[in-house]
Amino acid sequence: MFSAGMREMTLTHGCFISYRHTGGLSERFVTQLKPALEAYLREMDLPHGEHVWQDRYEIAPGEDFNITIAKAICSSVCMVTVFTPQYFTYDKVYCAREYQAMRAFEQKRRALLGDDAIGFIIPIRLMGDPPRMIAGEKNYVDMSRFKLHTKLDRAAFFSNEIFRIARQIEECYKRLRRVESTLGEDCRSFRLTDEEETKSWMVNEGLVAAPEPVLPFR
């Protein structure tokens, strides 16, 4: 996934939103989350560029979305993951590919900062429970009270939680600026792992079960 050469990396996005495109609750939630989060981030100390990157709006017609998404993750300070029971599935692996990519960046950034506790992946629980791998090591933001009729900008609870997310993104950026000259990945050549490798990773991490083999008919 990573290039061998060390180059100065330019952070141009505050966060990348990763979520399952189901057209239902998660889509409605993210549609409201993006402008609410941007409203806070515009007032904070962040890189110049797009504060919140969401693929629904940032990929032009005819553009190679695999390359564009990989570059956006590489250029983002943090990833905000919106968890539903369909986030990790064996047959649709794109969310897992995004998560796997940012997890690798998180590990590398922690090593450069000398801080194993700081998180560059911010999980949001929307429906169900995050998998054990996530819930066992990360403090997630519980937004499960959000329903189809909910308006994020009209509820103090949601506003407070979104503000907390924004402050965490700002804190991560402040720390990364100290090591940005050695952060060093060339986002132009960064690519996501392929589907089969990602499926193996999900099975090994206990995120999904491998499907039963299909026996041939005789």
- Domain regions of the chain by residue span: 13-204
Label residue 41 by pLDDT band (50, 70, 90).
very high
**Is pLDDT above 50 for 30?**
yes
Q: Which of 54-63, 89-98, 133-142, 184-193 has the highest mean pLDDT?
A: 89-98
* Apex 117 CA angle, 115 and 121, nearest 5: 110
Give me 130's structure tokens: 């995050």
- Report the share of the chain in percent with pLDDT over 90: 67
What span, in angstroms and rounded, lies between the C-alpha atoms of 88 and 201? 11
What span, in angstroms and rounded, lies between the C-alpha atoms of 210 and 91? 10
Q: What is the DSSP letter of 144?
A: T
Residue corresponding to tokens 């450069």 = 112
Q: What is the DSSP letter of 16?
A: E
67: number of Cβ within 10 Å: 14
- Determine contact, residues 121/79, Cβ cutoff 8 Å: yes
Label residue 216 by pLDDT band (50, 70, 90).
low
3-state SS, residue 97 = helix
**Is pLDDT above 60 for 8?**
no
Q: In the chain, what's the furthest Cα-to-Cα distance?
A: 67
Q: Say which CATH superfamily domain 13-204 falls into.
A: Toll/interleukin-1 receptor homology (TIR) domain (3.40.50.10140)
- The pairing of strands 76-83 and 13-19 is parallel
